[in-house]
Structure 1
Amino acid sequence: MTREPLHDGWTVGPKLGPFEAPADGAGPRLVVLPHDALRDLPRSADEVQGVHSGYTPGGAFEYSRELEVPPSWRERTVRLEFEGVYRDAVVFLNGEVVVHESNGYAGFSAVLDPYLRFGEVNRLTVEARAHRDSRWYSGAGIYRPVHLEVTDPVHIPVHGVTVTTPDIDEERAVVAVAATVRNSTRHTRETRVAWTVTGPTGEIVASGGCPVTVLPGTDAVARARLIVDEPLRWHPDHPHLYALQTTVTDAAGGALDEDSTTFGIRTVQVDPRNGLRINGRPLKLRGACVHHDNGPLGAATFDDAEDRRVRLLKEAGFNALRSAHNPMSRAMLDACDRHGLVVMDELADAWTRSKAPHDATITFPERWERDVAGLVAKDRNHPSVIMYSIGNEILELGTPIGSTWSRRLAERVRDLDHTRFVTNGINGIIANLPRMAEAREQVEDANTMMANMGDQMGLMNASPLVSASIEESAAVLDVVGFNYADSRYRQDAVDHPDRVIVGSETFPARIDVMWGLVEELPHVIGDFTWTGWDYLGEAGIGRVDYTDEPGYEPTGTAGPYPYRLAESGDLDITGYRRTISYYREIVYGLRVEPYIAVHRPQHHGRPTATTPWSWTDTVSTWSWDAAHGAPVTVDVYADADEVELLLDGESLGVAPVGAEKAFLARFETEFHPGELIAVARRAGHETGRHVVRTAGTPRLQAHADRDEVAVGGLAFVAITLADDAGITVADRDVRVEVQVSGPGVLAGLGSGRARTEESFGASAYTTYDGRLLAVIRVDGPGEVVVTASADGYEIARTAVRGI
Structure 2
Amino acid sequence: MGFNTFSFMLLSLLLSPSVQTMAAAGGRDRSSLNAEWKFSRFESNPDSLSYDGMKAWILPSANDYIDGDGHQRPSGTPPGSDVEYVKPDFSDDSWETIDLPHDWAIKGPFNPPGSTGHMGRLPTNGVGWYRKKVSFTDKDLTKNLYLDVDGAYSYAAVWLNGVLVGGWPYPFNSWRLDLTPYAKSGDNQLAIRLDNALESSRWYPGAGIYRNVWLVKVNPTHIAHSGTYVSTPKVSAESASINVAVLVENSGNSTQEVDVSTQIFVYDANTKKATGDAVASLQQGTISVERGKKQSANASVDLANPQLWGPPPNQKPNQYVAITKLFAKNSTDPIDTYETPFGLRSIIFDATKGVLVNGEALRLQGTCNHHDLGSLGAAFNVRAAERQQQMLQEMGSNALRTSHNPPAPEYLEISDRLGMLVLDEIFDTWNNPKLEQDFHSIFPDWREPDTRNFVRRDRNHPSVIAWSVGNEIPEQGNDQGTETGTALRSFAKAEDPVRPVTLGMNGGGANTGLAAVIDIKGLNYLGEGGGTDNNSAFPSFRDKFPDSFIFTTESASTVSTRGTFLFPVADGDVTVIPNEYNEPRPGTDDEHRWVSSYDLYVPQHGATPDKVFRQQTKYNYVGGEFVWTGFDYLGEPWPYDSSRSSYFGIIDLAGFKKSRFYLYQAHWRPEFPMAHILPHWTWPTDRVNQTTPIHVYTSGDEAEVFINGESQGRKKKGKEEWRLRWDNVTYRPGNVSVVAYKEGAEWARDEVRTVGTATKLNVMADRTAIKGDGLDLSFVSVFVTDDESGVDPVAVNEITFEVEGPGEIVSTDNGDPTDLTEFPSLKRKAFMGRALAIVRAKKGEAGSVRVKATAEGLAQGTAEIQVVLVPNIGSAFARESLRDPRVLVGNTPNSQTNAPLDSKASLSNALVDFLLDLELLGGSGSEHADVDLGVGDVNAERGGFLESLLEVGLAGSRTRCGGARFLCEMSLVTDTVDAEAVGLDEADDAGGTIGFGVVEIDVVVVIWRVSD
TM-score band w.r.t. shorter chain: 0.7 to 0.9
The verdict on how the C-alpha distance between 1:214 and 1:742 changes in structure 2, with shifts beyond 3 A counting, is farther
In structure 2, the residue corresponding to 1:235 is in which secondary structure? coil
- 1:28 corresponds to which residue? 95
- 1:188 corresponds to which residue? 255
Kindly provide the CA deviation profile for residues 560-612 of structure 1, in whole angstroms up to 9, marking residues without a partner as x. Answer: 42x1111211111222221101011222353654533434xxxxxxxxxxxxx
- 1:311 corresponds to which residue? 390
In structure 2, the residue corresponding to 1:381 is in which secondary structure? coil
Kindly provide the CA deviation profile for residues 751-801 of structure 1, in whole angstroms up to 9, marking residues without a partner as x. Answer: 211111111122222222222222233222312514233223325232231
The code of the aligned residue for 1:208 comes to L
1:709 matched to 2:738? The reply is: no
1:253 matched to 2:332? The reply is: yes
Structure 1 unpaired stretches of 5+: 432-465, 542-556, 600-620
1:595 matched to 2:595? The reply is: no
> Aligned equivalents of 1:735 and 1:726: distance in 2?
18
- 2:694 corresponds to which residue? 634
The verdict on how the C-alpha distance between 1:777 and 1:157 changes in structure 2, with shifts beyond 3 A counting, is farther
- 1:790 corresponds to which residue? 854
The code of the aligned residue for 2:815 comes to G
In structure 2, the residue corresponding to 1:38 is in which secondary structure? coil
TM-score w.r.t. length of structure 1 = 0.85
Match of 1:781 among 845, 868, 887: 845
Check conservation: 1:190, 1:214, Cα contact below 8 A: yes
Match of 1:208 among 282, 289, 295: 282
1:566 matched to 2:646? The reply is: yes
The verdict on how the C-alpha distance between 1:768 and 1:387 changes in structure 2, with shifts beyond 3 A counting, is same
The code of the aligned residue for 1:525 comes to G
Cα deviation for residue 358 of structure 1 reads 0.9
1:502 matched to 2:531? The reply is: no
In structure 1, the residue corresponding to 2:489 is in which secondary structure? helix
In structure 2, the residue corresponding to 1:756 is in which secondary structure? coil
- 2:52 corresponds to which residue? none
> Aligned equivalents of 2:155 and 2:497: distance in 1?
31
- 2:341 corresponds to which residue? 262
> Aligned equivalents of 1:568 and 1:712: distance in 2?
32
- 1:756 corresponds to which residue? 819
Check conservation: 1:625, 1:732, Cα contact below 8 A: no
- 1:735 corresponds to which residue? 798
Deviates more, 1:32-41 or 1:743-752: 743-752
> Aligned equivalents of 1:769 and 1:677: distance in 2?
21
The code of the aligned residue for 2:279 comes to V
- 1:459 corresponds to which residue? none
> Aligned equivalents of 2:165 and 2:301: distance in 1?
39
> Aligned equivalents of 1:592 and 1:167: distance in 2?
34
Cα deviation for residue 480 of structure 1 reads 0.7
> Aligned equivalents of 1:236 and 1:724: distance in 2?
42
Check conservation: 1:645, 1:678, Cα contact below 8 A: yes
1:799 matched to 2:865? The reply is: yes
- 2:62 corresponds to which residue? none
Check conservation: 2:247, 2:294, Cα contact below 8 A: yes
Match of 1:48 among 101, 106, 114: 114
Check conservation: 2:695, 2:723, Cα contact below 8 A: no
The code of the aligned residue for 1:220 comes to Q
The verdict on how the C-alpha distance between 1:274 and 1:651 changes in structure 2, with shifts beyond 3 A counting, is closer
Cα deviation for residue 167 of structure 1 reads 2.0
- 2:748 corresponds to which residue? 688
Deviates more, 1:273-282 or 1:101-110: 273-282
Check conservation: 1:175, 1:226, Cα contact below 8 A: yes
In structure 2, the residue corresponding to 1:74 is in which secondary structure? helix
> Aligned equivalents of 2:743 and 2:302: distance in 1?
54
> Aligned equivalents of 2:304 and 2:203: distance in 1?
48
Kindly provide the CA deviation profile for residues 266-325 of structure 1, in whole angstroms up to 9, marking residues without a partner as x. Answer: 111123233321112211100101111100111111122222211111111111111111
The verdict on how the C-alpha distance between 1:682 and 1:253 changes in structure 2, with shifts beyond 3 A counting, is closer
TM-score w.r.t. length of structure 2 = 0.68
Check conservation: 1:85, 1:140, Cα contact below 8 A: yes
1:176 matched to 2:251? The reply is: no
- 1:17 corresponds to which residue? 46
- 1:478 corresponds to which residue? 519
Deviates more, 1:271-280 or 1:347-356: 271-280
- 2:208 corresponds to which residue? 141
Cα deviation for residue 495 of structure 1 reads 3.9
> Aligned equivalents of 2:685 and 2:255: distance in 1?
81
The code of the aligned residue for 2:318 comes to H
Deviates more, 1:265-274 or 1:325-334: 265-274
Kindly provide the CA deviation profile for residues 171-214 of structure 1, in whole angstroms up to 9, marking residues without a partner as x. Answer: 32111111222221102223222212112573321123333332
Kindly provide the CA deviation profile for residues 355-402 of structure 1, in whole angstroms up to 9, marking residues without a partner as x. Answer: 011111001011100011111012110111111011000001101222
> Aligned equivalents of 2:720 and 2:349: distance in 1?
36
> Aligned equivalents of 1:34 and 1:568: distance in 2?
27
Check conservation: 2:510, 2:540, Cα contact below 8 A: no
Deviates more, 1:171-180 or 1:289-298: 171-180
Check conservation: 2:265, 2:320, Cα contact below 8 A: yes
Kindly provide the CA deviation profile for residues 11-49 of structure 1, in whole angstroms up to 9, marking residues without a partner as x. Answer: 221145259999xx99621111111111123222x8434
The verdict on how the C-alpha distance between 1:672 and 1:377 changes in structure 2, with shifts beyond 3 A counting, is same
Check conservation: 2:397, 2:668, Cα contact below 8 A: no
The verdict on how the C-alpha distance between 1:92 and 1:55 changes in structure 2, with shifts beyond 3 A counting, is same
> Aligned equivalents of 1:784 and 1:153: distance in 2?
48
The code of the aligned residue for 1:760 comes to F
Match of 2:308 among 233, 257, 276: 233
- 2:567 corresponds to which residue? none
- 2:158 corresponds to which residue? 91
The verdict on how the C-alpha distance between 1:174 and 1:88 changes in structure 2, with shifts beyond 3 A counting, is same
The code of the aligned residue for 1:91 comes to V
1:490 matched to 2:554? The reply is: no
Deviates more, 1:489-498 or 1:335-344: 489-498
The code of the aligned residue for 1:7 comes to N
- 2:872 corresponds to which residue? none
* Number of residue pairs aligned between Structure 1 and Structure 2: 723
1:2 matched to 2:77? The reply is: no
1:530 matched to 2:636? The reply is: no
In structure 1, the residue corresponding to 2:140 is in which secondary structure? helix
1:586 matched to 2:673? The reply is: no
The verdict on how the C-alpha distance between 1:782 and 1:138 changes in structure 2, with shifts beyond 3 A counting, is same
The code of the aligned residue for 1:758 comes to T
In structure 1, the residue corresponding to 2:822 is in which secondary structure? coil
- 1:360 corresponds to which residue? 439
Alignment of 1:293-692 (within 5 A): 293-428=372-507, 466-468=509-511, 471-486=512-527, 487-507=536-556, 508=558, 509-539=607-637, 541=638, 557=639, 559-561=640-642, 563-590=643-670, 593=673, 595-599=675-679, 621-622=680-681, 629=688, 631=690, 632-638=692-698, 642-654=702-714, 657=717, 662-671=722-731, 674-681=734-741, 686-692=746-752
> Aligned equivalents of 2:811 and 2:817: distance in 1?
16
Larger relative contact order (CA 8 Å, sep ≥ 6)? 2
In structure 2, the residue corresponding to 1:236 is in which secondary structure? coil
- 1:244 corresponds to which residue? 322
The verdict on how the C-alpha distance between 1:403 and 1:695 changes in structure 2, with shifts beyond 3 A counting, is same
The code of the aligned residue for 2:612 comes to M
The verdict on how the C-alpha distance between 1:113 and 1:741 changes in structure 2, with shifts beyond 3 A counting, is farther
The code of the aligned residue for 2:391 comes to L
- 2:12 corresponds to which residue? none
> Aligned equivalents of 1:532 and 1:727: distance in 2?
27
The verdict on how the C-alpha distance between 1:740 and 1:182 changes in structure 2, with shifts beyond 3 A counting, is farther
Cα deviation for residue 738 of structure 1 reads 2.6
The verdict on how the C-alpha distance between 1:647 and 1:406 changes in structure 2, with shifts beyond 3 A counting, is same
Cα deviation for residue 673 of structure 1 reads 5.2
> Aligned equivalents of 1:668 and 1:591: distance in 2?
30
> Aligned equivalents of 2:303 and 2:232: distance in 1?
10
> Aligned equivalents of 2:102 and 2:726: distance in 1?
46
Check conservation: 2:399, 2:420, Cα contact below 8 A: yes
> Aligned equivalents of 2:106 and 2:128: distance in 1?
13
> Aligned equivalents of 2:647 and 2:308: distance in 1?
38
In structure 2, the residue corresponding to 1:411 is in which secondary structure? helix
